[in-house]
């Protein structure tokens, strides 16, 4: 009996030892840390999920998003296992896997699956620019991945979309007559519909010396919007006068004295605006043009003698800057224009000594 019992125990020990030798890793589930070899199952793929050919005004922002995958695999002994490498985590410069670039414009936050693209500013030339926006993805570890689960290193992938960045061109007219598409209210006292240098009763009904200017905004024909356009105009310069024939100095304080910095002149509440690109407004065809009328100068009445006396000389040196905004963001160039003139008194009436008008076209 004793001999038989020893034999049985010995045989059981031999079987157990054989199982350990034949199946050394059956007792634990495999993981990337057990990998004997890594390989790429498929290349990295990144896809921008935002729409392509999106129209975006200059200086405005657009939210973008992307997804990415990186199917890898690893071998333990002779068996291969699938592994999804991390290519979407991270949203700053120290841990990103996805980042964004553009042929023009900037990214205030360029890292991560979501990003904000900011369109560039105005540029002379085409009213619509095709901007290429690109998302990049790689599997290079910039974060807290460990060497045992970093996956297989591969080349980065990219995906691109086109953003159509558009702009409004603001210019000015200082000769001829107002555009026939301009629906602003006519103001005969400023010389409307005549443009340029205006004098009392020339044209008939004008009540002063003005630089009658028609500001216009040209909107790209591909843009169908008919509302949301807001005009702004700022000013700087000097207006001053003398009050006696022998007075060598200008009367102080000056009538207006901001020669070196612009300040608000008018905005969307200004009366002489046509911010509706349809003609006629509301019901007409979209002509893709908006207008603002301004006639900087001095009112002296139909009799051309207001302010005399005590005024004996008047100097007007004013510069202006006009643009268009959408939602509080400038979407046009800044058009610089000016009205300059000097008036003297001759036989109790005002007389034009000199004048000049200038505006960007």
Q: With bands split at pLDDT 50, 70 and 90, how would you rate the model's confidence at 144?
A: low
Nearest by Cα to 115 from 129, 130, 96, 94: 96
What is the C-alpha to C-alpha distance for residues 295 and 359, in angstroms, rounded to an integer? 13
Tell me the average pLDDT across 217-229: 97
Task: Give residue-wise pLDDT tens across range 187-212.
Answer: 999 999 999 999 999 999 999 999 99
Tell me the average pLDDT across 21-37: 69
- What CATH architecture is 28-166? Sandwich (2.60)
What is the C-alpha to C-alpha distance for residues 100 and 135, in angstroms, rounded to an integer? 5
Average pLDDT of the residues of the chain: 90
What is the C-alpha to C-alpha distance for residues 224 and 226, in angstroms, rounded to an integer? 6
pLDDT for 9 equals 41
Q: With bands split at pLDDT 50, 70 and 90, how would you rate the model's confidence at 33?
A: confident
pLDDT for 142 equals 77
| Among the ranges given (19-28, 62-71, 260-269), the one the predictor scored with the smallest mean pLDDT | 19-28
Nearest by Cα to 37 from 84, 83, 80: 80
pLDDT for 18 equals 44
pLDDT for 29 equals 84
Contact 89, 67 (CB under 8 A): no
Residue limits of CATH 2.60.40 in the chain: 28-166
Whether the per-residue pLDDT at 241 is higher than 70: the answer is: yes
pLDDT for 63 equals 95
Task: Give residue-wise pLDDT tens across range 62-117.
Answer: 999 999 999 999 999 999 999 998 899 989 988 899 999 999 999 999 999 999 99
Q: How far apart are the first and last CA of the chain?
A: 118
Residue 223 phi, psi dihedral angles, 5° rounding? -95, 120
Q: How large is the C-alpha radius of gyration of the chain?
A: 37
Contact 324, 225 (CB under 8 A): no
pLDDT for 184 equals 95
Contact 203, 178 (CB under 8 A): no
Tell me the average pLDDT across 173-197: 96
Task: Give residue-wise pLDDT tens across range 286-343.
Answer: 999 999 999 999 999 999 999 999 999 999 999 999 999 999 999 999 999 999 999 9
Q: Which residues contact 196 (CB under 8 A, 6 or more apart)?
A: 174, 175, 176, 211, 212, 357
Q: Would you tell me how many other CB atoms lie within 10 Å of the CB of residue 108?
A: 9
Query: Higher model confidence: residue 148 or residue 294?
Result: 294
Q: Would you tell me how many other CB atoms lie within 10 Å of the CB of residue 351?
A: 12
3 sits in the region (left: phi over 0; alpha: psi -120 to 50; else beta) called alpha
């Amino acid at each position: 009996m004793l001999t038989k019992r020893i034999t049985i125990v010995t045989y059981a020990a031999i079987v157990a030892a054989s199982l350990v030798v034949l199946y050394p890793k059956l007792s634990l589930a495999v993981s990337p840390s057990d990998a004997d070899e890594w390989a790429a199952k498929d290349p990295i793929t990144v896809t921008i999920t935002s729409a392509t050919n999106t129209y975006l005004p200059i200086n405005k922002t657009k939210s973008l998003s992307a997804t990415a995958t990186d199917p890898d695999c690893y071998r333990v002994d002779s068996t291969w296992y699938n592994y999804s490498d991390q290519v979407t985590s991270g949203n700053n410069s120290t841990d990103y896997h996805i980042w964004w670039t553009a042929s023009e414009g900037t990214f205030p936050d360029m890292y991560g699956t979501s990003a904000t693209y900011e369109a560039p500013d105005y540029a002379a030339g085409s009213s619509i620019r095709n901007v290429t926006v690109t998302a990049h993805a790689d599997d290079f570890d910039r974060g807290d991945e460990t060497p045992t689960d970093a996956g297989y290193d591969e080349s980065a992938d990219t995906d691109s979309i086109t953003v159509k960045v558009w702009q409004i061109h603001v210019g000015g007219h200082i000769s001829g007559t107002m555009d026939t598409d301009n629906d602003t209210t006519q103001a005969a006292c400023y010389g409307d519909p005549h443009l340029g240098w205006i004098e009392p009763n020339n044209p008939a009904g004008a009540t002063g010396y003005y630089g009658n200017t028609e500001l216009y905004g040209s909107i790209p024909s591909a843009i169908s919007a008919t509302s949301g356009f807001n005009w702004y105009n700022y000013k700087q310069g000097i207006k001053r006068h003398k009050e006696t024939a022998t007075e060598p100095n200008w009367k102080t304080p000056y009538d207006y004295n901001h020669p070196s910095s612009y300040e608000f002149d008018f905005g969307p509440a200004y009366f002489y605006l046509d911010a509706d690109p349809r003609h006629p407004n509301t019901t007409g065809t979209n002509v893709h043009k908006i207008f603002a009328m301004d006639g900087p100068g001095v009112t002296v009445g139909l009799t051309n003698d207001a302010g005399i006396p005590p005024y004996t000389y008047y100097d007007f040196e004013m510069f202006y800057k006009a643009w268009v905004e959408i939602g509080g963001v400038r979407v046009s160039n800044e058009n610089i224009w000016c009205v300059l003139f000097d008036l003297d008194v001759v036989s109790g009436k005002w007389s034009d000594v000199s004048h000049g008008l200038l505006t960007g076209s």
